[in-house]
């Protein structure tokens, strides 16, 4: 599948891979595996007259998608529409498996899939053509299994039929979509946790209401508290206390503020909560802790 690449000469070029070069038989699907040597495959942007689903091996690679570089982790899968401008680069040999699908066959295959934003792109590759989008996911066990099944089927071309290929391709696309949706949800959850941590770091001295925090992140209080605990190992309240105690410890070490001044500056509502939280985290009282750090050489 390396046909059409050029050496890097500093001259911008665009290359179109033609279907007649890659579909010698009557079958609408072709699969090919190979190892690319390190390097960038020409100062060129590639288009194609067909769809391409690429599965990478154990080496990471850089994908140039409409001129923007994306780092593709090892054992990933990404989807290229016919009009998507792509190129690849790596600093070590790359194992690549390309699954090529003729456009009419992809349209026919996706007709039986759910009607959502992801599958609509398969049914109409020109949809949102002015807003290109890279679809890449981790190659989980299900996706790798579907690639193997398609390869096995295509090796027996005397028995292979478009109907069987369509069924296997539909299963692969469904697994791809499920993994993409899972990773999208995980990324959204990670972004929410990061936003919460940032907000807490800025506002831990204030009274923080869970309802307001949940509203800021667009989820319910129950979902936010469960997800935060699962991802960080702490409740939101525990994180606030950690931040307040760390603030108090810093002031005890670096200033001559009274305990009351420190308590009020760090957001503790009363002396009792200040001493309890400090002892719980530091294993000693604020006064004993301050004496110990001041005695250090």
Query: Crossing angle, helix 162-203 and helix 221-232, to 10 degrees?
Result: 90
Instruction: Evaluate if residue 84 carries a pLDDT over 60.
Output: yes
Q: Is the same domain home to 170 and 38?
A: yes
Instruction: Evaluate if residue 7 carries a pLDDT over 50.
Output: no
pLDDT at 273 (0 to 100): 94
Report which of residues 85 and 177 the model is more confident about. Answer: 177
* Contact call for residues 42 and 87 (beta carbons, < 8 A): yes
pLDDT at 91 (0 to 100): 82
Residue 44 lies in a domain: yes
pLDDT at 132 (0 to 100): 59
pLDDT at 210 (0 to 100): 95
Q: Is the same domain home to 177 and 102?
A: yes
Band of the pLDDT at 4, cuts 50, 70, 90? very low
**Cα gap 218→233, rounded to integer Å:** 21
pLDDT at 24 (0 to 100): 79
pLDDT at 177 (0 to 100): 93
According to DSSP H, which parts of the chain are helical? 19-22, 103-110, 117-123, 141-155, 162-203, 210-217, 221-232, 236-254, 259-266, 271-282, 286-294
Point out the domain boundary residue: 188, 213, 243: 188
Band of the pLDDT at 5, cuts 50, 70, 90? very low
Q: Which residues have CB under 8 Å from 227's CB, separation 6+?
A: 189, 192, 193, 219
Q: Is the same domain home to 32 and 176?
A: yes
Please state, for a pLDDT cut of 70, what percent of the chain lies above it.
90
Residue 199 lies in a domain: no
What region, left, alpha or beta, does residue 17 occupy, with left being phi > 0 and alpha being psi -120 to 50 degrees? beta
- In this predicted model, what pLDDT tens digit does every residue of 91-124 receive, in sequence order? 888 899 999 999 999 999 988 788 887 888 887 7
Q: Is the same domain home to 220 and 156?
A: no
Query: Crossing angle, helix 162-203 and helix 210-217, to 10 degrees?
Result: 140
pLDDT at 66 (0 to 100): 83
Q: Domain of residue 295: give its range.
A: 204-297
Band of the pLDDT at 180, cuts 50, 70, 90? very high
Q: Is the same domain home to 220 and 155?
A: no
- In this predicted model, what pLDDT tens digit does every residue of 245-280 receive, in sequence order? 999 999 999 999 999 999 999 999 999 999 999 999
């Amino acid at each position: 599948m390396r046909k059409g690449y050029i050496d890097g000469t500093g001259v911008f070029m665009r290359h179109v891979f033609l279907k007649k070069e890659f579909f010698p038989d009557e079958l609408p699907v072709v699969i090919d595996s190979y190892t690319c040597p390190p390097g960038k495959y020409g100062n060129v942007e590639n288009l194609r007259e067909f769809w391409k689903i690429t599965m990478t091996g154990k080496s990471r690679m850089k994908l140039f998608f409409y001129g923007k570089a994306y780092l593709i982790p090892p054992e990933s899968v990404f989807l290229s529409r016919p009009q998507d401008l792509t190129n690849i680069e790596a600093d070590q040999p790359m194992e690549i498996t390309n699954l090529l699908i003729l456009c009419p066959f992809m349209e026919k295959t996706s007709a039986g899939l759910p009607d959502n934003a992801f599958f609509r792109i398969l049914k109409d590759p020109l949809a949102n053509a002015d807003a290109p989008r890279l679809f890449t996911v981790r190659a989980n066990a299900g996706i790798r299994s579907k690639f193997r099944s398609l390869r096995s089927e295509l090796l027996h071309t005397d028995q292979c039929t478009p109907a069987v290929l369509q069924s296997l391709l539909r299963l692969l696309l469904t697994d791809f979509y499920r993994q993409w949706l899972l990773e999208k949800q995980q990324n959204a959850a990670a972004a929410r946790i990061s936003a919460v941590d940032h907000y807490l770091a800025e506002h831990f001295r204030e009274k923080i209401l869970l309802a307001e925090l949940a509203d800021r992140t667009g989820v319910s209080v129950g979902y936010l508290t469960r997800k935060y605990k699962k991802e960080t190992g702490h409740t939101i309240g525990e994180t606030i206390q950690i931040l307040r105690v760390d603030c108090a410890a810093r002031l005890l070490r670096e200033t001559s503020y009274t305990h009351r001044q420190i308590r009020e500056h760090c957001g503790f509502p009363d002396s009792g909560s200040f001493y309890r939280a400090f002892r719980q985290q530091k294993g000693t009282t604020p006064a004993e802790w301050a004496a110990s750090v001041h005695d250090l050489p």
